[in-house]
Amino acid sequence: MISGGGTGGHIFPAIAIANAVREREASTQFLFVGAEGKMEMEKVPAAGFAIEGLPIRGFQRGSFMANIGLPLRIVRSMLKARKLVRTFKPDVAVGVGGYASGPLLAAAQRMAVPTLIQEQNSFPGKTNVYLAKRVDRICVAYAGMDKYFPKEKLLLTGNPVRQEVVRLSGKRPRGLEYFKLQDGKPILFVTGGSLGARGVNRGIEAALPLFKEAGLQVIWQTGKPFLEQAQAAVDSHGYTDCKVMQFVDRMDYAYAVADLVVARAGAISVSELSLVQKPAILVPLPTAAEDHQTHNARTLTDQGAAVLVRDDDAVAELGKTVVGLITDKPAMDKLQRAIAALGTNNSAEVIAAEVIRLARRPSTMPSAGKPVTPCSNE
């Protein structure tokens, strides 16, 4: 069983781990557990895996009325999680973060199922800190996590990423054609994640005249809420070298052509940037839980592997920072060398090996067939 989700930063590592397990053990049956109404309920079946949803959701800050039903949701989620574990009878349960992982992993632990959690960030979420007390193994992406977790349970693995996204060899010509860009002119790729990023978008909008004057080509992933405003701004400047897109389906092509990337500092974005070895300006999401994105960004900036611009400063500073950096080849080369040293390329395989090791441990659960329909492409 694999539980977690809410964002692509949790879902895609979970799918990567499942695929790596299946490559080693083709007969494995999988059941994902997510939160009802969240994107994992769509993305996981699309990847070929069965999923069940829990009615869990997070605490809504600043809204008392929105939280009235939260205790009941938690209780219902815990009861359903126990039923799923009892029915599916997993050999191992894996948590990747997100609302659903708490009830599911807690239920598995109470039923003596071996458990593993994968913490993507340099500052852990509260759910994983709580689960760590009884979990068997903790796979982490950053060194020094013994500040938060029992040292004897830690395994430094890096973050699993979508291999098709970070394999760039030979893709630059196809990427230039795909985005209708020219070779020989600097290319900036701006991504705020699957839902967009308001602070980043506002900073890029303010910088359009500066980018056009500097001769930059731009791939601007805006997310749905900002798409019309971004396109209108680009059109008003007659900026034909700025390609506005709600969502970039071919991230590999975007990385392949980019000279510089502007991104949030989510754990998976940071891991992808390290593997594709691209100079980056990181704009952490200020409302991220426990401000973990700033912690992620600092792990790179402290080693000279990225540049940080605060979200509040994006309108005033982001454009100047982009142009100043992308026209400074020695600075770009220095960033590229530093970030390349931080990439971990086989994270999913290392985690999968640990999952399989735990699954082969003797279990006290009754041994019976698993009635849940296995993934469709087994």
- pLDDT digit of tens for each residue in the chain (378 aa)? 999 887 777 898 999 999 999 999 999 999 999 999 988 999 999 999 999 999 987 655 566 556 676 788 889 999 999 999 999 999 999 999 888 999 999 999 999 999 999 999 998 988 889 899 999 999 999 889 999 999 999 999 999 988 889 999 999 999 999 999 999 999 999 998 666 699 999 999 999 999 999 999 999 999 989 999 999 999 999 999 999 999 999 999 999 999 999 999 998 899 999 999 999 999 999 988 778 899 999 999 999 999 999 999 999 999 999 999 999 999 999 999 999 998 888 999 999 999 999 999 865 555 433 433 334 333
Architecture of domain 164-340 in this structure: 3-Layer(aba) Sandwich (3.40)
Same fold for the domain at 2-159+344-359 and the one at 164-340? yes
pTM of the predicted model as reported, rounded to 2 decimal places = 0.82
In the prediction, which pLDDT does 159 show?
A: 93
Residues 189-215, buried b or exposed e (16+ Cβ, 10 A)?
Answer: bbbbbbebbbbbbbbbbbbbeebbebe
Specify the CATH number of the domain 2-159+344-359. Answer: 3.40.50.2000
Q: Which among 52, 49, 311 has a CA at the least distance from the CA of 203? A: 311
Structure tokens at 279: 């100079």
Spatial contact of 282 and 199, defined as CB atoms under 8 Å apart: no
Collapsing DSSP to helix, strand or coil, 243 comes out as: strand
Element at 33 (helix H, strand E):
strand 32-35
Calpha distance 260→257 (Å, rounded): 9
Q: How much is the pLDDT for 363?
A: 58
Residue 274 is predicted with a pLDDT of 95
Question: Which element (helix H / strand E) includes 54?
Answer: strand 51-54
Q: Which two tokens stand for residue 9?
A: 């930063």
A 10 A CB-CB count for 241 gives 16
Nearest to 120 by CA among 92, 139, 146: 139
- Please state, in angstroms and rounded to a whole number, the distance separating the CA atoms of residues 364 and 172: 52
Instruction: List 155's β-bridge partners, or say none.
Output: 139
Q: Where are the domains of the chain?
A: 2-159+344-359, 164-340
